[in-house]
Amino acid sequence: MITYKYVLKEYLPSFRSKAALLMKKNYGLNQDRIAEMLGVSQAEISKYLSGISPKRKLEIDENQVRKFVESRMVGDELESQRKLCAACPKGAETSCLIMVR
């Protein structure tokens, strides 16, 4: 089982950082809109876009992040959750019951 701590402290910050960069680059979204779509504050998005956060960056498949961003852009929350889980480095080795926004 994937731990809640791993997801919150390691995986999500790395994933959201990559997603924020793609949303800004590919869709030209502002920080407030990206924050709303990823469920974090605008200040956190600012850190992601400037490279300050996260401190520990996990290797996450860019293609999986792109698929997640595409599903968020069309408002498909269920598919977004699936893409988020599919990109998790530990996803293939265990199950995860943590739902995230």
The Cα–Cα gap between 68 and 19 comes to 8
The pTM for the full model equals 0.84
Could you tell me if 68 and 19 are in contact, meaning their C-beta atoms sit under 8 angstroms apart?
A: yes
pLDDT in tens, the chain (101 residues): 567 777 788 888 999 999 999 999 999 999 999 999 999 999 999 999 998 888 777 888 899 999 999 999 999 888 888 888 888 877 655 566 666 55
**pLDDT of amino acid 42:** 97
Could you tell me if 42 and 36 are in contact, meaning their C-beta atoms sit under 8 angstroms apart?
A: no
**pLDDT of amino acid 51:** 87
How many other β-carbons are positioned within 10 Å of the β-carbon of residue 49? 17
Task: Name the residue ranges covered by the structural domains of the chain.
Answer: 4-87
**pLDDT of amino acid 21:** 95
Distances (CA, A) of 78 to 28, 53, 59, 85, 86: 24, 27, 23, 11, 12
